[in-house]
């Protein structure tokens, strides 16, 4: 397989969609699926991904996954995602994504590393389902606190350091670990 060349995300060159505030959703029995290489460049997206994000396949393949990043998602969540994946572990996370037409859609993502025959990580895979409205209501105020912390810092590095620390504190106030915290949200809202 030839390596897919990374292309800049549209938002990096200032042409990214502007959030309109329109909330989009998808059916409870649908899965939004994508795969990436080790750098987070998209190598696969399923039809549900394309329909909900309003992109064509050739617009997403070869693009960094931050193509659909919503500006109101805290950096700390993505830092935790990449840290967890780099350790070869999977992660569940609630993520708000931005479609090409400016609508947003919340997902409950399950992101996993993929291993090659030599045991090394060769890429990543994400399956997303529709989160319950109650779960979104739980994570929105948490993410708002993280964002507020990030906005107090002049550099991205300082922002993510501070908000990652705050995320640790907020999680520790409620659970033994991030995994336990996220499962408590998933289970609480599905009962």
- Name every residue whose Cβ is closer than 8 Å to that of residue 72 and which is 6 or more positions away in sequence: 19, 96, 143, 147
Segment near ligand FMN (CB under 6 A); pick from 71-79, 142-150, 169-177, 182-190: 71-79
Sheet holding 42-45, edge to edge: 42-45, 32-36, 121-129, 104-115, 91-98
> In terms of Cα–Cα distance, which of 132, 129, 133, 134 is closest to 29?
129
The least distance separating ligand FMN from the CB of residue 154, rounded to whole angstroms, comes to: 16
Q: Could you say which residues in the range 151-180 bind ligand FMN, by CB under 6 A? A: none
119: left (phi over 0), alpha (psi -120 to 50) or beta: left
Query: Residue from 52, 76, 95, 108 that binds ligand FMN (CB under 6 A)?
Result: 95
Based on its alpha-carbon atoms, the radius of gyration of the chain, rounded to whole angstroms, reads: 16
Token pair 């991904």 in the structure block, residue: 49
Contact flag: residue 126 with ligand FMN (CB under 6 A): yes
Contact present, 60 and 43 (Cβ < 8 Å): no
Q: Nearer Cβ to ligand FMN, position 109 or 185? A: 109
Segment near ligand FMN (CB under 6 A); pick from 68-76, 114-122, 144-152, 176-184: 68-76
Q: Which helix (H) or strand (E) holds 36?
A: strand 32-36
3-state SS, residue 57: helix
| Distance, CA of 67 to CA of 129 (rounded, Å) | 19
Applying CB under 6 A, the site for ligand FMN has a residue count of 17
Contact flag: residue 53 with ligand FMN (CB under 6 A): no
Contact flag: residue 181 with ligand FMN (CB under 6 A): no
The least distance separating ligand FMN from the CB of residue 17, rounded to whole angstroms, comes to: 13
The least distance separating ligand FMN from the CB of residue 25, rounded to whole angstroms, comes to: 15
Segment near ligand FMN (CB under 6 A); pick from 14-22, 62-70, 140-148, 168-176: 62-70
The least distance separating ligand FMN from the CB of residue 191, rounded to whole angstroms, comes to: 26
Q: Which residues in this chain contact ligand FMN in the complex, by CB under 6 A?
A: 34, 36, 40, 65-66, 68-69, 73, 75, 78, 81, 95, 97, 111, 124-126
């Amino acid at each position: 397989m030839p390596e897919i060349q990374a292309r800049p995300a549209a938002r990096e060159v200032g042409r990214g969609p502007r959030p309109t505030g329109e909330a989009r959703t998808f059916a409870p029995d649908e899965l939004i699926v994508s795969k990436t290489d080790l750098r987070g460049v998209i190598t696969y997206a399923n039809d549900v991904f394309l329909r909900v994000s309003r992109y064509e396949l050739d617009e997403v393949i070869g693009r960094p996954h931050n193509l659909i990043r919503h500006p109101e998602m805290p950096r700390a969540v993505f830092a935790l995602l990449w840290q967890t994946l780099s350790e070869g572990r999977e992660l569940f996370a609630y993520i708000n994504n931005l479609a090409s037409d400016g609508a947003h859609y919340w997902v409950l993502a399950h992101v996993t590393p993929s291993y090659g025959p030599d045991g090394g990580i060769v890429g990543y895979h994400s399956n997303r389902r529709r989160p319950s409205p109650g779960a979104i209501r739980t994570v929105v105020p948490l993410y708002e606190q993280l964002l507020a912390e990030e906005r107090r810092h002049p550099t991205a590095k300082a922002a993510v350091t501070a908000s990652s620390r705050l995320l640790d504190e907020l999680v520790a106030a409620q659970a033994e670990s991030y995994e336990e915290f996220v499962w408590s949200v998933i289970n609480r809202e599905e009962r």
